[in-house]
Amino acid sequence: MEPAACKGRRGGRAAAAVAKENIPGWQDDGHADVDFVKEGSALRIEANGLAETESPSSPTPDLECDDQPNPEQCLTTYQVVRMGRSELCNHLTRLSLDTSGTKEVLRQRLKSYCQLEHRRKGSEDRSACSERPAIVRSILHASKLEPCAFNYICVIDFEATCQEHNPRDFPHEIIEFPVVLLNTSTLQIEDTFQEYVKPFLNPTLSNFCTSLTGITQETVDAADYFPEVIDRVVNWMRQKGLGTTYTYAILTDGSWDMARFLNIQCQLSQLPYPRFAKKWINVRKTFCYFFKVSFIQVTS
């Protein structure tokens, strides 16, 4: 759901938490956005935009193909994202994959194929693994990353009040506060937090908002106001040891959840912007950076 519709969605600067009730573990250095950045074979965090470099101490090796009559250097992930269109088409043809689309689409198609093969690896024996095309084996080998810098990822995706045509200054109020706790070591969801929130500035939901979010008037009428809900969010995070026992990061799809929804809600509720929400991973930006693709406007 995009900003033009109900949620005006997805965010940058987050904003919520009970006064003087902040999760420890973050240091406020004035930066609002954080993204994963690949550095050689490791991950690092950078607060001032994105930059990709090769690690001088551990350059990505070139691997030889062993299943072709004329051996050639196989491709690393680093090389795939920098291929020209003709190179991409050649390799996709070898793998019997579609060669139509833009250069960015072709790059993503090749990388996606290798990732699919990687997921299959767990259910295959070693002999079956050795029968994969050499290009797939080499890319999978080169794309292995060091463990994530965080123990947990908190995925947040707010729902907020809206109208079918929102004025520029429309005060979106959060009506659902969901958090999914992802263990980065196992990639398993360990727990979730989910509560609805009663709006007070515009307590009656528009028909468009209900249709878009699936949240009914009866649901928000029975919910608590934002200060009570954010207090329980903070306590839940503390119980999970986030920021104390374990490191963590907030993750959102875009910038609207934090920069718009949480920021506005904290101002409306007269609450300080929570420290835990001052930095986050913008998965939309990270995805585009990793696959070397650009944003596309799909609606008029």
Are 190 and 181 a contacting pair, CB within 8 Å? Answer: yes
Task: For residues 121 and 215, state if they share a domain.
Answer: no
Task: For residues 160 and 138, state if they share a domain.
Answer: no
Closest-CA residue to 25 (of 145, 148, 151): 151
Task: For residues 79 and 109, state if they share a domain.
Answer: yes
User: Based on C-alpha coordinates, what's the Rg of the chain?
Assistant: 22
Is 7 a domain residue? Answer: no
CB count within 10 Å of CB 299 equals 6
Helix, strand or coil, per DSSP, at residue 255: strand
Task: For residues 206 and 118, state if they share a domain.
Answer: no
Show which of 142, 170, 191 is a domain's final residue: 142
How confident is the model at residue 126, as a pLDDT? 47
How confident is the model at residue 220, as a pLDDT? 98
User: 90: pLDDT confidence band, cut at 50, 70 and 90?
Assistant: confident
Identify the CATH number of the domain in which residue 216 sits. Answer: 3.30.420.10
Helix, strand or coil, per DSSP, at residue 210: helix
Is 249 a domain residue? Answer: yes
Compare 50 and 124 and report the one with higher pLDDT: 124
Is 27 a domain residue? Answer: no
User: 46: pLDDT confidence band, cut at 50, 70 and 90?
Assistant: very low
- Axis crossing angle, helix 103-121 with helix 134-142, rounded to the nearest 10: 90
Query: Which amino acid does the sequence have at 280?
Result: W
User: 21: pLDDT confidence band, cut at 50, 70 and 90?
Assistant: very low
Is 121 a domain residue? Answer: yes
Task: For residues 163 and 276, state if they share a domain.
Answer: yes
Task: For residues 156 and 222, state if they share a domain.
Answer: yes
Please tell me the least confidently modeled range out of 97-111, 182-196, 198-212. Answer: 97-111
Show which of 142, 171, 198 is a domain's final residue: 142
d(CA 106, CA 97): 10
| Tokens coding 101 | 């689309």
**What's the distance, CA 248 to chain centroid?**
13
Is 2 a domain residue? Answer: no
This prediction's pTM: 0.54
Query: Which amino acid does the sequence have at 115?
Result: Q
- How many domains is the chain built from? 2
Are 134 and 71 a contacting pair, CB within 8 Å? Answer: no
Compare 78 and 208 and report the one with higher pLDDT: 208
pLDDT per position as a tens digit, 48-60: 333 332 233 333 3
Show which of 142, 158, 183 is a domain's final residue: 142
DSSP 261: I
Is 62 a domain residue? Answer: no
| Tokens coding 133 | 């095309």
Task: For residues 160 and 104, state if they share a domain.
Answer: no
Query: What residue numbers bound the domain in which 99 lies?
Result: 74-142
Identify the CATH number of the domain in which residue 123 sits. Answer: 1.10.720
Residue 299 has pLDDT above 50, yes or no: yes
Residue 121 has pLDDT above 90, yes or no: no
* Measured CA distances, 263 to 16, 123, 154, 159, 202 (Å): 7, 45, 18, 14, 17
Contacts of 237 (CB under 8 A, 6+ apart): 23, 154, 243, 248, 276
Distance from the first to the final alpha carbon of the chain: 14
Is 245 a domain residue? Answer: yes
Task: For residues 138 and 154, state if they share a domain.
Answer: no
Task: For residues 104 and 229, state if they share a domain.
Answer: no
Are 184 and 148 a contacting pair, CB within 8 Å? Answer: yes
Task: For residues 136 and 169, state if they share a domain.
Answer: no
d(CA 81, CA 75): 10
Task: For residues 154 and 286, state if they share a domain.
Answer: yes
Is 246 a domain residue? Answer: yes
